[in-house]
Structure 1
């Protein structure tokens, strides 16, 4: 604790020193007014920090921010002289808390990216694993250097090329091409967030093929932690785009056991969250395959497991767990399993207005499904854990139209059973016994 306090104090002193130091105006970017780290000069003759001016140009602006004149070209010429002066000034003021400014790398060009992707396509056609591995690592290296490089790589169609390569090597052999497949997945991990939900049809077809999906499930079973995480992210992104991929993944027999294992025996938070999202997509599908996979999850004990996960998890995990629980209550087996668990109503009621709006929606929806074909003892138990008060408060605070309709219907169902029942607060349910 003492060391933590000292580190925090040192950081504060360092920040104060930087704030007290006067940065020369010629070293400041005219857009951000911060110290420039990679100064570049436009055709107007004005110098800006590369990141700031690229953001300006990508926003659809065609003028120089300072002079307001239309730019003759969008070329950004590195100002090496000014950059060296800034670096020397930083070294001279190290005692004032100025961090060392490294020499920036030259951004990758569209021509370079296109050339490497073309060679990658050629190596994929010949199933040249060694060549593909080298080219994929080159793309990955560029992406690790800067966000600007990542956008350039993705904008030139890297996702489609990488998806086709993954499909081709997965079709050839999982085991023999494991190294290449792992590198492709690792690189695609940072491609998805840049152009989220914009995979073209060709890329979806390759990444969602039976060969690719089976390879991803195989990695979930046999890969190391990083490969499992990359595979789960790829599945999550893919299933969020197209219902066809959801049905194709659901047709793979071992997928339900693998996903259930990640929830029952968590190995890292990222995989747990992604697993819950993948399960949510699987159990939300209207296809007959979804009905079967719901039954499989219920039989494994997912209903009770989700309640346990919800009690001890953070906001994001609780949201996902409650959403999956709500979907499992669509089937009769799921509802029967929920009725048998003494924690069902106490946990669901406790999470209303306690986690997030999404968690509240899922909790109310699940309770509504469990109460539709109600028996007196079910409604009595809901009353005993304070559901009536929570729902009245929810209506007062406001909620979505669908949640409001379900809330109103639940209040009407419970109203006849209120007389003579003492309602307790929802947080006090540890020693609660079922009323039947």
Structure 2
């Protein structure tokens, strides 16, 4: 029914070609739906107005809410409700740095801690909010919080903390220092992989995704001191087949750390070759297969890796 209704042209966002839910006007005078233009400004190679091609600032705060147009759109939707048109709700006020900093302060207040953590998780639902959180230093606070959970052996809020850290991760000098100055942070993220708590699938998936980001900024010294126990926990994720995202992240992690120190031998000792063959025999998606063969090539460059491949009945019979 809605498809048959003629929608006023000035209600339509020039980018999404959909009815605008939160119309905002750029300095060029063109109105867009906030989500569409903010995504454009955050991802486009050149920050220009899509309609006029004039330069725009990437600062989303330069966009002015068009309250008059939004009310007209809401009124039109209400009047066409009988024709199947849903009313556009009044948009929430965009997140700003002041609000984020207050939330960070509230995290440190015991009674408010978990409630604040849930608020931050709920707000991390769009690119603009995530960017604002990243710029305000949320990732560093989440990293510190994970280390605290690890040292206190506390799992409440662990899923939310890992998820927020993954979403807001920015490789700032502070984050790099936190990763490389001691093993606490890496140990804390790895610790999250061993828990079989109620929400363990999401906890472990987010932990592996964070781990991938952590190792991307780790220096050579940190990569060379990875332990056999570390690799056993990582390989366990492959054995448990927690999720497709987790499997891909683990494979990427293992490929990336192979060249450092004795990591190849440690990965083999952790039982990775057997798990990789078992995983490939289940005929996974193409991307996973590519990663499996890439990792096997690394591991079979050492004698122990080749020996483990030959021990598995499927290693030769399936041409692995």
- Cross-structure match for 2:172: 200
Q: Distance in 1 between matches of 2:118 and 2:265?
A: 41
Q: 1:258 aligns with which of 233, 258, 283?
A: 233
Deviation at 1:186, TM superposition (A): 2.5
Task: Kindly indicate whether residue 245 of structure 2 is the aligned counterpart of residue 275 of structure 1.
Answer: no
1:36 CA drift (Å):
1.1
Change (3 A) 1:116 1:329: same
Map 1:108-257; keep pairs closer than 5 Å.
108-117=95-104, 119=105, 123=108, 129-144=110-125, 146-167=126-147, 169-170=148-149, 173-175=151-153, 177-192=154-169, 198-207=170-179, 209-222=182-195, 223=197, 224-242=200-218, 243-248=220-225, 250-251=226-227, 253-257=228-232
- Please name the residue that 1:78 is paired with: 65
Structure 1 residue 179, shift from structure 2 partner: 2.5
Higher relative contact order (CA 8 A, sep 6+): 2
Is contact 1:38-1:104 (8 Å) kept? Answer: yes
Larger radius of gyration: 1
Aligned to 1:48, the other structure's residue is in SS state strand
Task: Tell me the equivalent position of 1:394.
Answer: none
Pairwise CA distance, 1:44: 5.8
Structure 2 Cα separation of the partners of residues 64 and 272 of structure 1: 39
Per-residue deviation, 1:24: 0.6
Q: 2:12 aligns with which of 28, 31, 46?
A: 28
Matched, 1:38 2:15: no
Question: Are 1:316 and 2:287 counterparts?
Answer: yes
Unmatched 5+ stretches in structure 1: 1-16, 193-197, 350-436
- Structure 2 CA distance for aligned equivalents of residues 325 and 69 of structure 1: 49
Deviations 1:110-139 (A, max 9, x none): 33224444x269x3xxxx554544443332
Kept in 2, the 8 Å contact 1:39–1:83? The answer is yes
For structure 2, the residue ranges without an aligned partner over 5 or more in a row are none
* Cα distance in structure 2, aligned partners of 1:244 and 1:87: 58
The residue matched to 2:318 in structure 1 has which SS?
A: helix
How far off is 1:77 after superposition? Answer: 3.3
> Judging changes above 3 Å, is the alpha-carbon distance between structure 1 residues 319 and 106 closer, same or farther for their aligned structure 2 residues?
same
Distance 2:178 2:319 in 1: 40
Structure 1 pair 94–322 and aligned structure 2 pair: CA distance change class (3 A): farther
Note if contact 1:109-1:152 (Cα within 8 Å) is conserved in structure 2.
yes
Q: Which of these residues, 54, 64, 76, is aligned with residue 38 of structure 2?
A: 54
Kindly state the Cα deviation for residue 54 of structure 1 after the two structures are TM-superposed.
3.0
Aligned mates of 1:113, 1:29 — CA distance in 2: 29
Q: What is the root-mean-square deviation in Å for CA atoms of aligned residues?
A: 3.3
Q: Secondary structure at the match of 1:179?
A: coil
Answer yes or no: is 1:285 the counterpart of 2:266. no
Q: Offset at 1:332?
A: 0.4
Q: For this pair of structures, how many residues does the alignment match?
A: 310
Determine the C-alpha separation between the residues in 2 that align with 1:216 and 1:202.
Answer: 17
**What residue number does 1:303 align with?**
273
Residues 98 and 315 of structure 1: CA distance in aligned 2, closer, same or farther (over 3 Å): farther
* TM-aligned CA deviation for residue 82 of structure 1: 2.2
| Cα distance in 1 for residues equivalent to 2:251 and 2:41 | 39
Q: CA deviation at 1:322?
A: 1.6
TM-score by length of 1: 0.61
Given the two structures, how large is their TM-score scaled by the length of structure 2? 0.80
Cα distance in 1 between the residues matched to 2:78 and 2:159? 41
Higher deviation after alignment, 269-278 or 91-100: 91-100
- How many Å apart are 1:78 and its aligned residue? 2.5
Are 1:170 and 1:212, in contact at CA under 8 Å, matched by a contact in 2?
no
Residue 64 of structure 1 deviates from its aligned partner by 9.3
Q: Distance in 2 between matches of 1:344 and 1:38?
A: 57
Contact 2:47 2:56 in 1 (8 A): no
Deviation at 1:65, TM superposition (A): 4.5
Contact 1:307 1:347 (8 Å CA) reproduced:
no
